[in-house]
Each structure stands twice: as structure tokens, then as C-alpha cells.
Amino acid sequence: MTCSILILNGPNLNLLGTRQPEVYGPTTLADIEALCQTKAAALGVDVTFAQSNHEGELIDMLHAARGTHAGIILNAGAYTHTSVALMDAISSIMVPVVELHLSNIHAREVFRQTSYIAPVAVGQICGFGAAGYPLAIDAILSYIGEAK
């Protein structure tokens, strides 16, 4: 069976390209999805790419990943810094999650330096802009490969 990865994007990431390009870069979310699909095709894995501005929808998508996806890449946007509910969802699903951010959250405002995702993720990639997405695909596949 082909390995399937879910790439989940949280609030305001639908606005990439026009949203604070000095922080998040000029690349749109559609560009990033294309980058991920090209990478996935080269590696022979399936990628499902999704975005929601709603915490509950993100939680529903995490739950639905059980039995469907071998791993998840999650850019939870601002929910990273607030959502115990997303943290609990990750703890509940038994699917490995790589935490991802375009910006280096550790070099920004103090409130962005706390992540509720980090303690329940297998690892974190941040600060590499759109290039972080293909890096995260390599990271989750390496983790899954070693866990087998």
C-alpha cells in the first residue's frame, strides 16, 4: 500500500503570499501544495493537503487521519500557541506528527515561543519558509521508516 501523509495547515495560512510577506515569504499556499505534491510524486508517497481556519475542523481532520495516514505534518498557525485541544487530539490519535512553521517562532514574540504542539510532536521544523514543507516530508518519512 502507498504511504499516505496528511499536511494540515491552520488559520490564516490560506492568505500566504499576501499575508505579511516580510515574515512568511511570497509563496502562496497553492504554490506550497504544488511543491509538496512534486516532492511526494518523486518519493512515491501520497500527500493529502488541507487547510482550515477552524480549530474544531482541524481536530476532526486529525481524528480522521487514524487508519488513513501514516504521518502528519502540522502547521497549526496561531493555534500552536493556544490550543490544548489540538495537543490532546495529537496525543489521542497514535499518528506521528511533525510540527512545522514557516517562520522561526523562537526568534519572534515571546507568546510565539510557547508551543502546545511541541511536547506531543516527534519533532519541529521552523524558520525555513516554504522550503520547510519538503524538509518536513523527509522528516516524517524518516521517522515512519525507523518506527517500522
- The residues that touch ligand DQA, with contacts defined as CB under 6 A, are 12, 75, 77-78, 80, 101-103, 105, 112
Smaller CB distance to ligand DQA: residue 47 or 115?
115
Q: Which of 24, 79, 116, 133 is flagged as catalytic? A: 24
| Known catalytic membership, residue 143 | no
Q: Counting beta carbons within 10 angstroms of the beta carbon of residue 8, is it exposed (0 to 12), middle (13 to 18) or buried (19 or more)?
A: buried
Smaller CB distance to ligand DQA: residue 77 or 96?
77
The CB density around residue 99, as the number of other CB atoms within 10 Å, is 25
CB of 94 to ligand DQA, least distance (A): 24
DSSP letters along the chain, please? Answer: ---EEEEEE-TTGGGTTTS-HHHH-S--HHHHHHHHHHHHHHHT-EEEEEE-S-HHHHHHHHHHTTTT-SEEEEE-GGGGGT-HHHHHHHHHH---EEEEESS-GGGS-GGGG--SSGGGSSEEEESSGGGHHHHHHHHHHHHHHHH-
Smaller CB distance to ligand DQA: residue 25 or 71?
25
Smaller CB distance to ligand DQA: residue 69 or 101?
101
Q: Which of 54, 69, 79, 101 is flagged as catalytic? A: 101
CB of 19 to ligand DQA, least distance (A): 8
CB of 18 to ligand DQA, least distance (A): 14
CB of 102 to ligand DQA, least distance (A): 4
| Known catalytic membership, residue 101 | yes
Q: Catalytic residue numbers?
A: 24, 101
